[in-house]
Every structure is written in structure tokens, then in C-alpha cells.
Amino acid sequence: MGMRCYCHHVPGRLRVKIPGLQGEPAEAERVETVLRAIAGVTGVKVNPLTGSVVVLYDPDHTAQDRILNILQDQGLFDASLAITHEEQVRAAVAEFGMRLGRAALGWAVGKSLDASGLSLLAALL
């Protein structure tokens, strides 16, 4: 699976993004079959285009960890590659900050070169 898996959880609802499901309808169907067989799971929606899996479950009868462990045991999920919603947001904010910083630096360098270019032109006149 090489790519990062994403998990977001609130009691009774688990969303997992599994990149290995993208473009793999047979594998998506297998995930759905495995999940529906878990006692306490009340609903499953798998999107093979995005690799997104939403599991609705009764927290009194099963738990997020059990669901993820079953997916991992079946080779459908790799917990070592999983990031949480908070980690994904943190990474996106860091990336945005880096891009904004580069843009600001580029603007500042451009302005300083514009100003020195005009100063050079004025000195020559």
C-alpha cells in the first residue's frame, strides 16, 4: 500500500481512506463484505473512486479498534501508514505556511530588485 491511510472517528462512525482501494472495485467490494460481517456494524459505504470507507456501528457492540484490527488482519488496512484528521490538518497548515512564506519571500525579493533597479536607473541619469 505505500500511500498514507487516513482515519477520522467519532463514536458510532468511522471514516477510513485507503488509497489501495482507488480504482479497484473488486477490492472495495471485499472491504464492504468484511465490514458488514462484523457484529455491531450497521452500515457501510465504500467509494472505489476515492478509496473512502465509511462505517456506521453501534458503539455498545463493537469499537473502532476492533474494526481497524479486522481490516488490518485481512490485509486491507495498514495502521503504520494511518494518519488522523488532526495530523492531516496539521500537515496541510504546515504546507500552506511554507507556500505562503515562499510567496512572501519572492514578493519581497522582487520588490527590492525593482527598487534597486530604479535607483540604478536614476543614478545613471
Q: In this predicted model, what pLDDT tens digit does every residue of 4-38 receive, in sequence order?
A: 677 888 999 999 988 889 999 999 999 999 999 99
Q: What is the pLDDT of residue 99?
A: 72
Write the CATH number for 74: 3.30.70.100
pTM of the model: 0.64
Q: In this predicted model, what pLDDT tens digit does every residue of 101-110 receive, in sequence order?
A: 677 666 666 6
Task: Tell me how many domains the chain contains.
Answer: 1
Residue at 108 is within a domain = no
Residue at 100 is within a domain = no
Residue at 120 is within a domain = no
What is the SS3 assignment for 67? Answer: helix
Residue at 99 is within a domain = no
In which band, very low, low, confident or very high, does the pLDDT at 124 lie, cut at 50, 70 and 90? low
Residue at 34 is within a domain = yes
At 90, which helix (H) or strand (E)?
helix 85-124
Residue at 113 is within a domain = no
Residue at 106 is within a domain = no
Q: Which domain, by its residues, includes 34?
A: 5-84
CB 4 within 8 A of CB 82: yes
Residue at 112 is within a domain = no
DSSP structural state of residue 86: H
CB 41 within 8 A of CB 56: yes
Q: In this predicted model, what pLDDT tens digit does every residue of 45-99 receive, in sequence order?
A: 999 999 999 999 999 999 999 999 999 999 888 877 665 556 555 655 556 667 7
